[in-house]
Structure 1
Amino acid sequence: MPISIFGFQALWSPYFLGVLVLITILYFLVTVKWRDKFKDSEPLKQKEALLFVSGMLLLYIIKGGPVDLLGHIIFTMHMFQMAFLVLLAPPLIIMGIPSWLWRSIINRPVIKPVFDLFTKPMLAIIIFGMVFSFYHIPLIFDFVKMNSLLHAAVSILLFGSALLYWWPVVNNLEGAYKFHGLKKLAYLFGLSVLITPACALIIFSDTAFYATYTDGQAWQQAMALCVPAGTLAQLGLTGPELFTNMSALEDQRTGGITMKVVQELIFTVFLWLVFYEWLRNENKNADEITAKTIEDRKNMALHRHNA
């Protein structure tokens, strides 16, 4: 059955799109038109603008487009959505905001001590790992999925904790802590290890344990978060089985596998970029040492000649 039966609002989330458009407009107003109002500001780089817009576009695709609706219908799509929400959108947005704007936001008496605390690498990775894992405990997951305000709050919490996790990896703010080289590789690997138990529980379970994807009444309550009540009542649907050929258990296992596969693919790209950066710096340092050695030898030879 096509998901178009749920209507335009459920498919394209126009209100969420409006919010993201307003945020994007504000971003360009601050970084271009109002830039002179900020101390030590610099012209917006094309790369930064592209990264930020890409982050906003990705947020809309996974939380506002048909993917979000499918995430309420099929668990596999929920995990696909979750992977991009916490593993790709946050670094794009962090890198897309200029350092001078980050400095203006963070360097405030109330914000700075709190931000410095929660972006400490060990605390950031533990918080994100715990938020992700606890959210996917069946009892908590089903309760959250059936309450619109709670679901929105948890989505913001997940995204916020992901921003804190990615900060030590991708920020370019002078004076802020940032991993380099092999430490960055270890930090990325650490998160992969932390979220593995939750994914393993989902993949290797013998039963489908999320009521919002197995119980008709719970599924309808969860669907009410993105489908207008009137539309849902008219359709008279009883569960997700009309939209997928997979059983609930197959869907659950596929969802866990999807999360791990997407996570590994994203991390592989970042690991390659980190390794390339580290190798380039090592070669640069080696070239500098070689050049200095040659210069020292020339100076010594000149000194001996003059003597």
Structure 2
Amino acid sequence: MEQFFSTFSAWTIWTPELIVVLMFLSALYFIIIGPLRHKFPDAERVSTRRKVYFHLGLIAVYFGFGGPLYVLGHLMLSMHMLSMAIVYLIAPPLLLLGIPSWFFKIFTKFKVIRGIFLVVGYPILGLVLFNAMFSFYHMPNTFDTLLTNEGWHNLYQLGMLFAAILMWWHLTPRLETRYELSELKKIGYMFANGVLITPACALIIFAGSPLYATYTDPSTWAVAISYCLPAGADIPFEMFSGEQALTPLSPLHDQQLGGALMKVIQELVYGVAIGYVFKAWMNRDKSSRTEVEFKSYEMVQPNSQ
């Protein structure tokens, strides 16, 4: 790790420009829920828990799109898959849970936005779009093309984040829409997500040889890693292979570890989401039974006097 920190500049490793963007979003968040809250109809005080959720989501975005983990992702596929799991599976639900529902209500006043959501808000679209983009991203030709083109890579990452938020919206909705899913449908939705993401993970885990030239071909790797270096800096080929290589794993074993990390984290996150939905379902059912019993008691009580 000493070689890692000595090879790459502090600017490259810690991505201060991303920190500035996330700090701006944090400040904007506190302004909206504070001084500007009265401009939103039915706005209520935001709980500390929601504030924590939102900022944990911002931290997850940082580790997915920047920081040491992002640079390591250009050296090891396993670290790249870990950063993807953090930003696409963990960040979206935290951000959605952290934003108060009254913030979204103001957008329902705009006919154009309502019309757009009638199309993009259909549950199946979010389900298919995210998993299709995830699978397409991990096709060898697509992966190598994007990793060696910073502009297209950043654009595709943002598109996949939008698709992930759209997918998670139906599990953590912040306001009622015509596409509201019942608890049973939400659980089925999560199982479907787990099934659709499996082929891409299985391809990575069970491939008999390394799939990506980014991690096996020096010339391809040199183009990818150059985006993490200052302009004109020498390419540290000693970190690619040999005794000074950063990882002791072979490209194939690193690839298998990456696929396993993605699948395990996905199972854990989706498992927590299913448990949360199931608990809410049980609480709602218990509340409904209590209400029915109370009404029955009120109806019987006068007759017993």
Pair in the same fold by TM > 0.5? yes
Q: Is the 8 Å Cα contact of residues 104 and 174 (structure 2) preserved in structure 1?
A: no
Describe the SS at the equivalent of 2:171.
Answer: helix
Return the offset for 1:191. Answer: 0.4
Q: 1:44 to 1:207 in 2, by over 3 A?
A: same
State the match for 2:23 in structure 1: 21
What is the distance in 2 between the residues matched to 1:217 and 1:103?
51
State the match for 1:239 in structure 2: 240
What is the distance in 2 between the residues matched to 1:67 and 1:53?
19
What is the distance in 1 between the residues matched to 2:37 and 2:298?
44
Return the offset for 1:236. Answer: 4.4
What is the distance in 1 between the residues matched to 2:129 and 2:187?
19
Return the offset for 1:83. Answer: 1.0
What is the distance in 1 between the residues matched to 2:15 and 2:51?
24
One-letter code aligned to 1:73:
L
> Which among 158, 178, 181 is matched to residue 179 of structure 1?
181
Give structure 1 regions of 4+ aligned residues with deviation exceeding 4 angstroms. none
What is the TM-score of this pair, normalised by structure 1? 0.92
State the match for 1:255 in structure 2: 258
Q: 1:234 to 1:81 in 2, by over 3 A?
A: closer
Q: Is the 8 Å Cα contact of residues 222 and 235 (structure 2) preserved in structure 1?
A: no
- How do 1:9-88 and structure 2 match up within 5 A? 9-88=11-90
Pair 1:124 & 2:126 matched: yes
State the match for 2:226 in structure 1: 224
Q: Which segments of 5 or more consecutive residues in structure 1 lack a partner in the other structure?
A: 303-307
Q: Is the 8 Å Cα contact of residues 44 and 98 (structure 1) preserved in structure 2?
A: yes
One-letter code aligned to 1:252:
Q
What is the distance in 1 between the residues matched to 2:141 and 2:240?
19
Return the offset for 1:62. Answer: 2.6
| Worse-matched range after superposition: 246-255 or 26-35 | 26-35
What is the distance in 1 between the residues matched to 2:275 and 2:122?
24
Q: How large is the Cα RMSD of the aligned pairs?
A: 1.8
Q: Is the 8 Å Cα contact of residues 145 and 212 (structure 1) preserved in structure 2?
A: yes
> Which among 209, 212, 215 is matched to residue 213 of structure 1?
215
What is the distance in 2 between the residues matched to 1:113 and 1:263?
32
Pair 1:271 & 2:268 matched: no
Summarize deviations over 1:141-193 as a string: whole Å, max 9, x none.
11011111101101101100001001111022144633232211111111000
Q: Which segments of 5 or more consecutive residues in structure 2 lack a partner in the other structure?
A: none
What is the distance in 2 between the residues matched to 1:240 and 1:153?
30
State the match for 1:295 in structure 2: 298
What is the distance in 2 between the residues matched to 1:144 and 1:263?
23
One-letter code aligned to 2:275:
W
One-letter code aligned to 1:227:
L
| Worse-matched range after superposition: 37-46 or 90-99 | 37-46
What is the distance in 1 between the residues matched to 2:24 and 2:72?
25
Q: Is the 8 Å Cα contact of residues 170 and 178 (structure 1) preserved in structure 2?
A: no
Q: Is the 8 Å Cα contact of residues 62 and 84 (structure 1) preserved in structure 2?
A: yes
Return the offset for 1:229. Answer: 3.3
One-letter code aligned to 2:240:
G
Residue identity (%)? 37
What is the distance in 2 between the residues matched to 1:223 and 1:100?
43
Pair 1:108 & 2:82 matched: no
Q: Is the 8 Å Cα contact of residues 51 and 98 (structure 2) preserved in structure 1?
A: yes
Alignment coverage as a number of residue pairs: 301
State the match for 2:284 in structure 1: 281
What is the distance in 1 between the residues matched to 2:224 and 2:138?
15
Q: 1:147 to 1:107 in 2, by over 3 A?
A: farther
Describe the SS at the equivalent of 2:34.
Answer: helix
| Worse-matched range after superposition: 184-193 or 102-111 | 102-111
